[in-house]
Structure formats: structure tokens, C-alpha cells
Structure 1
Amino acid sequence: MLQINSRGTRRSANMLININRYGTGKGELRDPLGVACLLNGDIVVSEWGNKRVQIFNDAGHHVAEVGKGKIGPQGVAVTLRGNIVVTDGHHKRLQVFSPSGSSLAIWGLGRFYGPCGLAVSPNGNCVVTDIAENAISVYRGEKTCLARFGTKGNADDKFDNPLYVAIGQYNEIIVSDSNNHAIKVFDSKGAFIRKFGGEGTGNGQFKFPRGVCTDERGNILVADRNNNRVSLFSSQGKFLCNLLTQDNGIRDPYGVAISMTGNLVVTESGENRAALKVFQL
């Protein structure tokens, strides 16, 4: 059971890994954005600044780099087969790589204008946020668009810079609507279900939220970047606690993911600083 103090913060979080080397070399980071975990426990990080994807093992050691200089990666996800899918914002398409880094597929050119966030549903569909179009697309395979919804605005079914996306326990599509300071939830066909958040610094509020993911209970984790924290909500959007704050060493959180062992993985991206951190909660 979570132990929450009077400030709505979880009492303890043990940092297991802290990779904070800013640079261009192997194992160094520049503008790390999305993060995902492979089936073997390795951690995959998309680096916009270094135009590559890096892979680290569960001890934080550098394993491989993928697509160096050939992609502009933002969102990253893992397919049911264990392959790596990346939104290539520079070339406005998606790329698929094997865990060893071999290119398997390139698709989506002409269908996306600003692909950013990415999630893979339990049935294998790809859900992509498009920050240029302020829209969400759901694809089955490389050619079949099952749903596309959203335009620019602040209404329930509209977005202003929808950065990241996750899949809920009942295949809901969970979107961080960053400039509207909200998390919005839709069914698998794009029908609006609920939203939560609002601009502010109080518990349950956001200032430009970034990454989202879910845990094994269906709770929703949000990287609340400008509030320097990672917050936890129930699947219904009820604020539960701030899992990580500046007291835990969190600053400018971007991507969030839950590892195969239940640890929380966070990327941080700020001016001349970058980090990949893993916490045991």
C-alpha cells in the first residue's frame, strides 16, 4: 500500500540508476525524450539531440545504439514481438527496428506531419500523436487507419500539442494534452471518455505534462515537466500522490515507463542537461 504524507507525496523512492552524462558519446545523452522497456528488461531511450536510439541494460550499462544520424526520434514503444518502434519526427514517419538495431520497416510517410507520441495496444495497433495536426491516429499494420480524431482547440475532443500517449487497461487511449495542461482519455475508436488535470501547481494539476504510462493496476503515471514531478492517478483520473518530486532528484521529467520488474524509468531533458533514472517505488 502506498504511504502518502500530508503533501500528497509518496514517502520513499529508491534511485537505482542515474545516467546523467551530457554528450554525444555512447552512454551519454542529449535531449532524451521517449522511453520504453524491452521484454528482456533492457531500456530503450529516444534521443532527439543525438538523432539516435540508445539501449541500456537493467543495470544501466550501454548496450547498443540504433539509427544514429538517420532518425529524429521522439516517441518509442515496443511491439508484441519485442521490436522497437520509433516516431521519426524529422522525416515524418515511423521506423521499426529489431532489438539488435536492424531496420525492419519504414512507414507512414505522407500520413503524419508531426509524429511524436507512440503506444502499442495489446492487440498490436499503433497509436500515434501528431503535434502538427493536433490529432491522434490508430493504425492496424502499416496501411490500415482504424481511427483518426482531434483538431486544435481546448474542448474535450480537441488538443493543443498532444505530446505522448499510453494505453489503459481496457484499451483506452490516454493522451497528454500538453498546452491544455490536461490528460484526456478516449476509447479505442476515439470517443471522449474523461479528462483530468488543469493548469497549476497543486496536487492533481499540471504545467505542460509530457510522458504518460500505466502500471499493472491500471493507474496512470504522468511526467509533470514544469512542476518537476511524476504524479500517480487512478484509472478514473483521481489524484493519488506525487510519486517523485525534486526531493527525489527529479527535474524536467519527459518520458516515463514501467520496467519488467515494476521499477519506474524516467528521462529528463533540459538545457545542457539530460538524464535517465530508474526508481524502485
Structure 2
Amino acid sequence: MENHQYFWLFLIINSCSGSGTGFNDDPAIDPRLYNLDWMKSVPDETLISALSIPGTHESLSLHGGPLAKCQVWTLDKQLNLGVRYFDLHGKVTKLMTELIDKNRNKIWTKSSIPNMQQVRGNIVLLQSDTFYRGIENQESTFFENKKLINVEAKIRNIKSQLCDHHVVLTDSAASRLSRPKTLAQTLNKQLDNFVVQHEKSSSNQGCLGVLSMNFPSADLIKNIIQLKPCNCVKGGKIGDGGRKIQVTTEPKPKPTSSTSEQAQPKTEPNITPEAAESTLSGLESTPKFEEKAKPVPEPQAITSGDNT
């Protein structure tokens, strides 16, 4: 059985796409598009759940056939561009447990929602169906039948959840029956157009939660991180830890084998102990968030939050 780990990675950070498409499948990046320290200005008391966070679906799926490849940028490039939610799949439960035990002061494994001050420089874990350490999340219904439907009305409904210590996740790529790249070309443009309009006119700006995407463009990532945090003035007490919620999910439909595409087996990225150790190797040297005078370094490891 596969084991899926979901990580929030916060760092205090041209393509085949055209302007406004939200889609990119070119691995090259102009360093001028980097967003290394976008969380630097987020107030310490802001709950993580109140941020609009760009993320990637199956973040390490860089290879394989048309049904397997979901991303074009390596993990470090995603970090540089501002991605802070990572969806890592692999048979690594035992390995992750060992890494957590070795880096307890750098990894948030509680079910409560932290504020920025509590997790700057750290990893925040989200639970999945097979990994039970970290924050629980609740999926949004922004997308219906591959279309954004009545999103502003839905935001009004989920705002109390975001402000009452619940993490809301929108997985725009969660379809096993479509090619990730083809799906991204359609959904990312819708999402990019919506985020731009949302920033201009929404009375609930920034109340989007985590947006997990395939093949996002640098522009789409930037548009998401430019949103202000959700205004939670009437929400629960800031930083009090929050309440644990129970999340129910509908069973995912199994794909049929009627098309030639589906005959291609989808392979999970091979996450080796060496790769995982390398990913976390820089945690010990990460400056703590109190050291505000130090400049923000290039990301050398998975960290969460600006350390400045």
C-alpha cells in the first residue's frame, strides 16, 4: 500500500505559457522571478490556516508518461519560486518517522494550527489517509467538474473554518482520469484569472487556503502569494492552538481501463533514505526566527517560514 505524506514547507521565497495562462512546462527559470522571502512580512500572530499558499500536487513527479508527470520544476526550484505546500508520495512511513524523531525541534507534528511565530524555520506536516501525524485538512469544493463554481460564496462559507483553526485544501489536480498536463492547461488559467479578480474585488481577500496545482506558472504562484492573509478579526483567539476536526472524504473512483492511456502504469517517485536525509540536512543550520538581523539565505533544505 502506498503511503502519502503531505508537507507544508514555508520559507521566509520562461515557459511555454503565455501571460495569464497559469501554466508552465518549461524547466528553465529566470532568477528574477524568485520569491524567496514572501512570508517575511506576514505578522507573527497570523495563523497558518489564514494564508493563501501555493502548492504542488505530487511535487516530485518529474518523470514518467503523460499520466504520471505532474511537475517540471525540481523541489529547490519550486521553493525558490515561492511554493510552500508539497505533496510527497512514496513508501516512506518508517523513514519519515525516523526523520521526525531526529528533527523534533524543526517539524510541527501537532494536530493544532500554529501561527507564524511558532513555525518560522520549521516544517508543518499535514495528515493524509495513511499518515496520521500533523494537521488535519478539509478539502474545498471550489472546483466542480473541472470548473470554478461560485467560489466567492464558498469562501464566505469556509472563512469561519480558516479563522477557527481549520486548514482548507484545494487540489485542482486531483483527477486520475486526465493527463495532468492537459488538466493543468485548463484549470490553471481559470485559477489564475480568478485569483487576479479576487485580489481586486473580493471582500474576503486571501481566504483561499492551500492551492495544490500541477504545472503552475511563476505568475500564478506570485499572484497567490500577493494576496493578503484572510481577515480573521472575528475568528478564534490567535495562536491558541485550535481544535481538532474530523475530516470525512468520499472514496475516490477507480479509473477504468478502456483507454490506451490508462494502460500505462503510473510509478511513484522513488524517495530514497539518502534523498530524504539530503532534503533535511540543512535544518540544523537554519537560523531561528528570533534572529531577525540575518539575511535570508538561498534555500538549502526544507524549512518553513522566513527566518528574518
Q: Give the structure-2-normalised TM-score.
A: 0.23
Higher normalized strand content (fraction of residues) = 1
| Max Rg structure | 2
Query: Which of the pair has the greater relative contact order for Cα pairs under 8 Å at 6+ separation?
Result: 2
Higher normalized helix content (fraction of residues) = 2
